[in-house]
Amino acid sequence: MNYYDQHLHTHHSFDSNETFENYLKTYSPTYFVSTEHLDFDNPYVKGTDSIPEFEAYKKEIESLDKKHETTLLKGIEVGYVDYQHDRITSFLNEKDYDIILLSIHQNGRFDYMDDDVLALEVVDLIDDYYSRMLDAVKKADFANVLTHFDYGMRRLDLSVDEFKKYAEPYLIDIFKIIIEKDMAFELNAKSFIKYGNKALYEYAIPLYISLGGKLFTLGSDAHVVEDYELGFEKMGSLLKKHGINKLAIYQKQKLNSVEL
C-alpha cells in the first residue's frame, strides 16, 4: 500500500467548494479520505457552528463507492476548544470515522488566522496557543493525528530562535503526550509550503524524534483539487533526512504504517 493524503477538504467543509469527483477523476487514488471541518462557535463564520452533516457525507461516499475503484474512507478535522469538549465527543459518538485529526484553530474569541493575533505580544500568543494545544492533547483521547502544530504562528514572521525560546517547554510536554497516546505528528503542506514555516518543522521534527516520536503523517490541507498531495516530495525528503522511512495511516482508526 502506498501512502495517501490524510488531510484535505471537500464541499462538506465550511471553507471549501471542492468535490469528491474532481479529486477522484484527477488523481484516481487507490485510497481517498477527506477530513471535513468540525468547528463549534466558529469565529471564521461569525461564531456559528461549522458541522459536517455526517449522514449526507456518508451517503455521498456510499454512492461514489459504487462508481469508482478507489477505496473511500471517512475523516474529520476537529477544531478543539476546551469548553466544547462534551459537544465534540457527543458529535463523534458512534460515527465510524477512519481518521480523526486534532487541530487548534481558535480560542473561543478569535481564529488564530484573524488580525487579533497581530495585536498580541509574541510570548502571549505562544502561551495562549500552546497552552490550549497542551490541554487538547491531554483530553482529546479520540484523536489520531495532531495537525499543523504551527497554525497559530502563521500570521507571524518568527525566527526559529524566538519560537524555540517561548514554545519549546510547551512542545516538549505536547510531544511526550502524543507519543504516549500513539498520535501521529503531521507535516502540513499549507504551513510548510504556503505559509513558509518549513524552518519551524526543521526545528520541531528532531525535537519530537529525540523524545521518542516515530509516527508522522503528511497532509496537504487541500481545499481545492490542485493542492492534493501538495509538498509531499519536499516534506518526505525532510523526514528521510532525519531517518524516517515510514508514515502512519489510519483506517477504522487503527494505526498502520507504509513506506515513505
pLDDT for 40 equals 98
- Residue 186: pLDDT band (50, 70, 90) is very high
pLDDT tens for residues 193-226?
999 999 999 999 999 999 999 999 999 999 999 9
| Domains of the chain and CATH, by start | 20-259 (3.20.20.140)
pLDDT for 116 equals 96
CB-neighbour burial class of residue 254 (10 A; exposed 0-12, middle 13-18, buried 19+): exposed
Distance CA 218, CA 237 (A): 11
DSSP string of 16-53, one letter each residue: ----HHHHHHHH--SEEEEEEEEEEEEGGGTTEEE---
DSSP 8: B
pLDDT tens for residues 7-59?
999 999 999 999 999 999 999 999 999 999 999 999 999 999 999 999 999 99
Distance CA 111, CA 85 (A): 18
Q: What are the cell numbers at 96?
A: 465510524
pLDDT for 232 equals 98
pLDDT tens for residues 144-165?
999 999 999 999 999 999 999 9
In terms of Cα–Cα distance, which of 145, 190, 183 is closest to 33? 145
Q: What is the mean pLDDT of the chain?
A: 97
pLDDT for 1 equals 84
Cα-flanking dihedrals φ and ψ of residue 67, to 5°? Answer: -105, -20
